[in-house]
Chain A
Amino acid sequence: MKMKVTNRVREIRQERHITQVKLAQDLGITRQTINAIEKGKYNPSLELALRLLVYFNVPLDHLFYLEEE
């Protein structure tokens, strides 16, 4: 059974009315990276994932979870 990492970055970001550009600026990364993470095309490094958790102030399993492919 193959599992893939899925995230709720887009949902949480939109709930809080934060733009991709603002999020990218605050985290010091490119807007393209935010887009790639939201679309599931790129899995962030542990460091970036932890920074996202701190930024949104949510637990790990609320932002990232495993899903069957």
Chain B
Amino acid sequence: MRKGKKRYELLLYSFITLCCFIGLWIGLELAGEPFPSGTSFIILTLVGVVSGIGLPILVSFVRRRKSLPEMDERTVRIIKDYLLMASVGIGFVSGILLLILVGIGYQTIELGILAIYGTIMVFLTAAGLFVVKRL
């Protein structure tokens, strides 16, 4: 029951994050809104960080009761191994991608594309982290 609830929660977080990305894409592409810059960009980033990281931490802190711990020595070891493999994997994939792009004639990369690539990599790594943590 508890396991099913956690899976449901994870799916919910993934869905919300996906919706955020779709909303950003609609805002940028379809509605023609310019990408925020300057102070508003910093404020939006801070709001994003607080809602994305701060709120879940606060919720888990409030919910914490005297029950089974969610992490122990084995979990830490698994997470360390996963992050090591993920960083090597991302470096490898990025290298191959760069070689392919150079091979087909690209000479420059837009910072926006790099930012999107980085965001996707961070999102995938974080999603994998949630899965690995529950092993």
Co-assembled chains A and B: yes
Contact with B along A39-60 (1 / 0, CB 8 A): 0001011011000000000000
Is A31 close to B, CB under 8 A?
Answer: yes
Kindly list chain A residues whose C-beta atoms are within 8 Å of the C-beta of B135.
32
Report whether B73 and A24 are in contact in the complex, using a CB–CB cutoff of 8 Å. no
- Do B68 and A48 touch across chains, with their CB atoms under 8 A apart? no
Interface residues of B in 57-104 (CB under 8 A from A): 67-75
A-B contact count (CB 8 A): 31
Query: How large, as a class, is the contact surface on chain A?
Result: 10 to 19
Q: Does A66 contact B (CB under 8 A)?
A: no
- Asked if residues A32 and B74 are in contact (CB atoms below 8 Å), the reply is yes
CB distance from B53 to the nearest CB of A (A): 23
* Alpha-carbon gap, A25 to B135, bound state (A): 18
Which A residue sits closest to B73, measured CB to CB? A45
Does B74 contact A36, Cβ atoms closer than 8 Å?
Answer: yes
Tell me if A25 and B67 are in contact (CB < 8 A): yes
A28 touches B69 (CB 8 A): yes
A31 to chain B, nearest CB (A): 6
The CA-CA distance from A44 to B113 in the complex, in Å, is 44
A29 in contact (CB, < 8 A) = yes
Q: What is the interface of chain B, defined by CB distance below 8 A to chain A?
A: 67-75, 134-135
Residues of chain A having any CB pair with chain B under 8 Å: 21, 24-25, 28-33, 36, 42, 44-45, 47-48
